[in-house]
Amino acid sequence: MNGSFGLSEAIRIAGGKSALADKLGVRPQSVGKWRRIPYNRIIQVEKLIGISREILCPELYGKK
């Protein structure tokens, strides 16, 4: 599992890129440019969407 999977899941659960962008207070174009959720947004996405940070960013929060 990688960070792009976490982004895909967040987009899916939020209801699309525009919906995720609305929840985060950013433009949909910003979300569209992401290859993974930016590190400074991981905790915010975790709280808003309900996906654990381990899934959103396994390279940072995954098992060592």
The confidence band for 64, taking pLDDT boundaries of 50, 70 and 90, is low
Domain positions in the chain: 3-61
* CATH class label, 3-61: mainly alpha
Q: Is 59 exposed, middle or buried (0-12, 13-18, 19+ CB in 10 A)?
A: exposed
Task: Say yes or no to pLDDT of 1 above 70.
Answer: no
Rg (CA), the chain: 11
Q: What is the pLDDT of residues 4-58, one digit of tens each?
A: 899 999 999 999 999 999 999 999 999 999 999 999 999 999 999 999 999 999 8
Give the separation between CA 50 and CA 64, rounded to whole angstroms: 23
Give the separation between CA 57 and CA 1, rounded to whole angstroms: 9
